[in-house]
Structure 1
Amino acid sequence: MTPRTIPALLEKAKQSYADRPAIVDGATTLTYTDLAEAAENAARAFLAAGVRSGDRVAIWAPNRWEFPVAVLGAQTIGAAVVPLNTRYRGHEAREILERSRATALITLNGFLGADYVQMLRDAGPLPEHLIAIVDLSGDDAASSAPVVGWSAFLAKGEEVTDERLDGAKASVTPDTVADLLFTSGTTGKPKGVMSAQRQTIGVADVWARGAELTPEDRYAIVNPFFHGFGYKAGFIAAFTSGAAVHPIATYDPTQALKLIQDEQITVLPGAPTIFATLINHPDLKTYDISSLRFAIAGAASVPESLFSDMLDILGIDEVKGAYGLTECMVATATRPGEDPAHVAQVVGPAVEGLEIRTVTESGEDAAQGEDGEVWIRGDNVMLGYFENPEATQEAIDADGWLHTGDVGRLDEHGCLKITDRIKDMFTVGGFNVYPAEVENALADHPDIVESAVIGVPDARLGSVGRAFVVVRNDLVPDEIDTWLKDRLANYKRPKTYAVVDALPRNASGKILKTELRS
């Protein structure tokens, strides 16, 4: 039986898989025994730093071996992790640190040239509740409070007694909050999606069984660890099944092909753009990627030929489509042996433990093939939004159904097809963009009267943003984009801008984005 807490999961993995590799990150390899020990050392360090059960620990770092260690260490003592997108700017990160009241931050200064700590300082005073900042790249000798290097952070943990650590572990139950994953949504204000440890492990277990993960698998994770796809369906799924995690910090198709060949990678999920770049790589045939046996292209919609090309050109044994959202990370997955043409059209039936309905505006179940809002119910649906009971009540009804805001239809096999997004969200290279968040940022500019943001198709990224703006004082698009660089991650910034005299509206004054899309 799969454990229902992180401490129990680590103990079982240590006993079951012992000397098998858990993480292989360049020259660093951690066995499952090493992983359990590293997580325990991190747990001691968090306690020494002043983190307590029920606190939040933010992690603002790329895919590397310390990320899972920090996650498991925090969760071992009952703290919840708050992953931050590595593309965030200081204002975005600071808002989430403030909203979550995180007491510790694990980061990697210098990743892709970004000075995360300085970006935070530039966005305002460091939050008072942030008692420790750990820089994975930090020079311990040069660090100054509250910033410390990883080695110094761990060294301080050696002072924590076994009794104190055991006491912290004993506070952890299956219902202890494991994580807050922040998502923006319709208002643009981030909401923290809470999941219990049993739910995070449950999502991982469902995904691992769907992928038939075993200790023989070598799982290359290109999906960011800060996202549920790389975290719950990523390294936690691997740890439930004894597979080896191979983190990919920055995606480069040539390097990915080399990794697959050299490490005999067997499992590679990702956004559709990942597979498109491999399929179209000019040197694809010079690499031996025959070890690949399983892949999921996670997206509501994919190019029609993608799954056939993944089978025929990349030679992957089995490919699946799937659908999920932050509030319920793995909701559907296509069935084994499905016709790739069908996989390209649907995202499959509900996974084990979940129910799915499509519901019309009148509240009735939609007929087969008829569009309706997608509702989901089951054990792995979020606990709710952090300190936001109103939003939670709006999202989850009295009968436990999560109203996703997505529109879809069910076919005769119970397979779901997503047909629209009520919330106007669009996806840029695998990252969700909520127009309201971008519009709120634009509204802060003194020379922007109002704006409307939509997603438009893009051959490389799937879609990109386009902003329609009403301005004063002859403001030009280049000035707007420069202003946004310090306020929004690059994937959220519109690729194009249209300066207009007015935005189209209906009789009640609502902006007509359908006209902007036409």
Structure 2
Amino acid sequence: MTNPNWQTIPEMVLSAADRFGDAEAVIDGPLRLTFTELVERIRRAAGAFAEFGVDKGDRVAVWAPNSAEWIISAFGIMTAGGILVPVNTRFKTDEAADVVARSGAKAVMVQRGFLGQDFAFSPTQLDVPTIDLKSDFLGSGSPLTRDVEPTDVADVIFTSGTTGRPKGAMMNHRQTLRAYEEWATLADLREGDRYLMINPYFHTFGLKAGLVASFLRGATMLPVAVFDVDRVVELIERERVTMLPGPPTLYHSLLAVTDRNRLATLRAGVTGAADIPVELVRRIREELPFQTLMTGYGLTEAGNVTLSRPGDTAEDVATTAGVPCRDVEVRIADDSEVLVRGYNVMQGYLDDAAATAEAIDEDGWLHTGDLGEFTESGRLRIVGRKKDMFIVGGFNAYPAEIEGYLLEHPAVAQVAVIGVPDERMGQVGKVFIVLRDEPGAPSVTAEELINWARERMAGYKVPRSVEFLDELPLNATGKVMKNQLEARVASVGGK
């Protein structure tokens, strides 16, 4: 449980000055701040937002990459009594304008010039003031703290929108503190850890398993704006990084590092967002210095749902998402959909009562849209998305299950399966493959892979075609954007 004295996120964050004082809080390029200095900057930012006109309950958007200023902005907004609305940095201007407009934000914090985008809106797109994150604004206010209630909404995080228009999930202060106290414990995050943050702050994981957890524990935060493996290895070595969550692709990159001594300080890892080959987990444990590797299942609408436990086997970590979190109920519906009920479920979608009613039923169960099953040991296994399922000659085919089989092939690093039209069967599977790119990795042809699959799975599950790619289209949280793969197929006539 969280410390009973902390009822809100600002309360917990501001207390870090007393708890951790002169310990390093943030390292961002040449900028180094202690917890005392960081908290002072957050209080001044709160004053700046209040002087700008942000009242209690007002929403403020942040559309920018990971940085110290993002942290100061986000918690400054909350400390002023406002509600944080993080915006996906992968969004184009029109997409971002749509989210900001629907959020009713009073202002947007932006970082101009990131990834070649000016992060600016035309008056026809959006009539909301924009403030440069890197300007003097955040330091311009008189220190301020406004009281907020534990049940007040703390943030509105819009879904990643890989299948449809993003919706804004509302979470309150108390549920966030409670959930990420448990996460920090199971992830083995400790005071003094040095946490390299590749996961974007605009996503639930980056904001909460990253920033909130670090303030809870007193871990040093090292924001990374853009993933570059050479830069990451340099930071691990120079800053003696101990904590490094990320998608499976991150760990593939680390396994390709020739001088493993540069990674010697790494102790705790966390992965998820995709199926993980068992062999990859074994290699991480055997070849990299990580003492713990956690996985789990969560979603924007509920934060953490299940987490693995210390001592779980490589098989458990790779093929399941762990067991339900404390005081969180998980059940599998008759159609195999994963349902979740508990304190962690969102307050609802912002200004969308119909979508909220569709997602959360009268008994309080959140319908996740994910398909799953429980193993004999009580661990949750995610087998696909309801919307991803395709039907081959009357049989239901689940891409996640097929992808899990294909990941067992020694030449395969990443895989994505979609259904494509077929005159005889209605639909059949098409697989996109990224091959392992490291010394000694085997190769495979499309025909060989299909034959290999035929020996391991029912005929209707076997993909009929294979396309090799250098990389899969991923969103910023590591999920494959299958809508882009479907569009790719449609552009060449559905094959």
Q: Distance in 1 between matches of 2:177 and 2:316?
A: 30
Does the alignment pair 1:262 with 2:238? Answer: yes
Q: What residue is the counterpart of 2:374 in the other structure?
A: 410
Q: Distance in 1 between matches of 2:191 and 2:163?
A: 43
Q: What residue is the counterpart of 2:349 in the other structure?
A: 385
Write out aligned runs for 1:467-478 (5 A).
Answer: none
Shift of 1:93: 0.3
Write out aligned runs for 1:205-284 (5 A).
Answer: 205-281=181-257, 283-284=258-259
Q: What residue is the counterpart of 1:305 in the other structure?
A: 279
Shift of 1:457: 3.4
Q: What residue is the counterpart of 1:494 in the other structure?
A: 484
Shift of 1:212: 2.4
Q: What residue is the counterpart of 1:439 in the other structure?
A: none
Shift of 1:184: 5.7
Shift of 1:10: 2.2
C-alpha change, 1:100 and 1:500, in structure 2 (3 Å) is closer
Q: Distance in 1 between matches of 2:305 and 2:14?
A: 28
The count of corresponding residues between Structure 1 and Structure 2 is: 417
Q: Distance in 1 between matches of 2:51 and 2:117?
A: 28
Shift of 1:304: 2.6
The answer for unaligned runs of 5 or more in structure 1 is 138-149, 362-371, 428-432, 436-451, 462-489, 504-515
Q: What residue is the counterpart of 1:154 in the other structure?
A: 139
3-state secondary structure, aligned to 1:268: coil
Q: Distance in 1 between matches of 2:111 and 2:220?
A: 23
What residue identity is the alignment partner of 1:379? Answer: Y
Shift of 1:185: 5.7
The answer as to whether partners of 1:78 and 1:176 remain within 8 angstroms in 2 is no
C-alpha change, 1:182 and 1:402, in structure 2 (3 Å) is same
Q: What residue is the counterpart of 1:135 in the other structure?
A: 132
The answer as to whether partners of 1:18 and 1:31 remain within 8 angstroms in 2 is yes
What residue identity is the alignment partner of 2:321? Answer: V
Write out aligned runs for 1:341-380 (5 A).
Answer: 341-361=315-335, 372-380=336-344
Shift of 1:175: 1.1
The answer as to whether partners of 2:21 and 2:35 remain within 8 angstroms in 1 is yes
Give 1:288's match in structure 2, choosing from 262, 280, 292: 262
TM-score by length of 1: 0.75
Q: Distance in 2 between matches of 1:223 and 1:501?
A: 34
C-alpha change, 1:458 and 1:226, in structure 2 (3 Å) is farther
3-state secondary structure, aligned to 1:261: helix
3-state secondary structure, aligned to 1:497: helix
User: For each residue in 1:266-318, what CA deviation from the matched residue of structure 2 results, as whole angstroms up to 9, or x when unmatched?
Assistant: 1111111111111123x343x42121111111124112312111111212111
Does the alignment pair 1:64 with 2:39? Answer: no
3-state secondary structure, aligned to 2:7: coil
3-state secondary structure, aligned to 1:260: helix
- Root mean square deviation of aligned Cα: 2.8
Q: Distance in 2 between matches of 1:294 and 1:97?
A: 35
Q: What residue is the counterpart of 1:95 in the other structure?
A: 98
Residue identity over aligned pairs, in percent, reads: 39
Write out aligned runs for 1:157-168 (5 A).
Answer: 157-158=141-142, 165-166=144-145
Q: Distance in 1 between matches of 2:259 and 2:88?
A: 30
User: For each residue in 1:103-130, what CA deviation from the matched residue of structure 2 results, as whole angstroms up to 9, or x when unmatched?
Assistant: 111111111221111xx22xx52533x2
Q: Distance in 2 between matches of 1:280 and 1:501?
A: 35
Give 1:190's match in structure 2, choosing from 149, 161, 166: 166
Q: Distance in 1 between matches of 2:44 and 2:156?
A: 23
User: For each residue in 1:34-83, what CA deviation from the matched residue of structure 2 results, as whole angstroms up to 9, or x when unmatched?
Assistant: 12111111101111111111111111111110111101000112211111
Q: Distance in 1 between matches of 2:279 and 2:68?
A: 35
Q: Distance in 1 between matches of 2:277 and 2:350?
A: 36
User: For each residue in 1:206-240, what CA deviation from the matched residue of structure 2 results, as whole angstroms up to 9, or x when unmatched?
Assistant: 21111222212111110011111111110111101
Does the alignment pair 1:320 with 2:320? Answer: no
Q: What residue is the counterpart of 2:10 in the other structure?
A: 7
Q: What residue is the counterpart of 1:459 in the other structure?
A: 434
C-alpha change, 1:304 and 1:265, in structure 2 (3 Å) is same
C-alpha change, 1:251 and 1:413, in structure 2 (3 Å) is same
Q: Distance in 2 between matches of 1:134 and 1:289?
A: 38
User: For each residue in 1:118-155, what CA deviation from the matched residue of structure 2 results, as whole angstroms up to 9, or x when unmatched?
Assistant: xx22xx52533x2x311134xxxxxxxxxxxx204532
C-alpha change, 1:250 and 1:339, in structure 2 (3 Å) is same
Q: Distance in 1 between matches of 2:288 and 2:185?
A: 23
Shift of 1:497: 2.4
C-alpha change, 1:263 and 1:460, in structure 2 (3 Å) is farther
What residue identity is the alignment partner of 1:237? Answer: A
Q: Distance in 2 between matches of 1:219 and 1:68?
A: 14
Q: What residue is the counterpart of 1:398 in the other structure?
A: 362
3-state secondary structure, aligned to 1:69: helix
Q: Distance in 2 between matches of 1:399 and 1:186?
A: 28
C-alpha change, 1:270 and 1:75, in structure 2 (3 Å) is same
The answer for unaligned runs of 5 or more in structure 2 is 390-398, 401-415, 419-426, 437-479
The answer as to whether partners of 1:203 and 1:233 remain within 8 angstroms in 2 is no
Shift of 1:460: 7.0
Does the alignment pair 1:419 with 2:374? Answer: no
Q: What residue is the counterpart of 2:468 in the other structure?
A: none
3-state secondary structure, aligned to 1:377: strand
Q: Distance in 1 between matches of 2:159 and 2:14?
A: 32
C-alpha change, 1:186 and 1:90, in structure 2 (3 Å) is closer
Shift of 1:92: 0.4
The answer as to whether partners of 1:218 and 1:244 remain within 8 angstroms in 2 is yes
3-state secondary structure, aligned to 2:364: coil
What residue identity is the alignment partner of 1:375? Answer: L
The answer as to whether partners of 1:300 and 1:418 remain within 8 angstroms in 2 is no
The answer as to whether partners of 2:339 and 2:368 remain within 8 angstroms in 1 is yes
C-alpha change, 1:178 and 1:500, in structure 2 (3 Å) is closer
Shift of 1:203: 2.7
The answer as to whether partners of 2:168 and 2:349 remain within 8 angstroms in 1 is yes
C-alpha change, 1:383 and 1:456, in structure 2 (3 Å) is farther
The answer as to whether partners of 1:78 and 1:177 remain within 8 angstroms in 2 is no
The answer as to whether partners of 2:162 and 2:481 remain within 8 angstroms in 1 is no
Q: Distance in 2 between matches of 1:215 and 1:499?
A: 51
The answer as to whether partners of 2:7 and 2:173 remain within 8 angstroms in 1 is yes
Q: What residue is the counterpart of 2:392 in the other structure?
A: none
Does the alignment pair 1:82 with 2:59? Answer: no
